[in-house]
Amino acid sequence: RLADGTAVAAAAGRLLVTSFHPELSRDLRFHEYFLEIVRS
């Protein structure tokens, strides 16, 4: 996370990295993005 608390994620091709644990959040946007990549 950045100093202001912003979570950071990056993608390169089919690789994803995050500065947080998306599985601990109720926000499903990251999981939905991951599924889009898997389906393509």
Q: Domain for residue 13, yes or no?
A: yes
pLDDT at 12: 92
Share of the chain above pLDDT 70, in %: 98
Q: Is the pLDDT of residue 1 over 80?
A: no
Print the domain residue range for 15.
Answer: 9-39
pLDDT at 31: 92
Tens-place pLDDT, residues 24-38: 989 899 899 889 988
Q: Domain for residue 1, yes or no?
A: no
The phi, psi pair for 25, rounded to 5°, reads -110, 155
Q: Domain for residue 17, yes or no?
A: yes
Q: Domain for residue 26, yes or no?
A: yes
Long-range contacts of 26-33 (CB under 8 A, 24+ apart): none
Q: Domain for residue 15, yes or no?
A: yes
Count: domains in the chain: 1
CA–CA separation, 31 vs 2, rounded Å? 21
Tens-place pLDDT, residues 4-27: 988 899 999 878 899 889 899 898
Q: Domain for residue 2, yes or no?
A: no
Give 16: exposed, middle or buried? Use CB within 10 Å, 0-12, 13-18, 19+: middle
Lookup: tokens for 25: 């959040």
